[in-house]
Amino acid sequence: MNFRPLHDRVVVRRLDAEEKTRGGIIIPDTAKEKPMEGEVVAVGPGARDERGQIVALDVRAGDRILFGKWSGTEVKIDGEELLIMKESDIMGIVEGGVAQKQAA
């Protein structure tokens, strides 16, 4: 990807929503909500504090995160739909999310 976010901005790829409920009912596309979970694709260098020093971000490329339903701005880069949001819009990092999915 030929895009580098500035300051405290983060580029996120939404993760696909579940297609079935736990009971096995298939959810049609029209009833699905946009997922609030994603993978960080790229991060900016960080925001500047009062003294002009750059404060590094807590998230890194590859982190799996949770964010607000209406967070970020949807953009299309290299034919892929992504979100650009500030780090403050991120609620948290999902720890061990990949290992749990593979075990299931």
Interval 10-20: pLDDT, tens: 999 988 766 65
Work out the percent of the chain whose per-residue pLDDT is above 90. Answer: 16
CATH architecture of 9-103: Roll (2.30)
Output the pTM of the full model: 0.72
Q: Which candidate, 70, 93, 72, places its Cα nearest to that of 81?
A: 72
Name residue 41's amino acid. V
Residue 42 neighbours by CB distance under 10 Å: 18
Interval 19-60: pLDDT, tens: 655 666 666 655 555 668 899 999 999 888 899 898 888 899
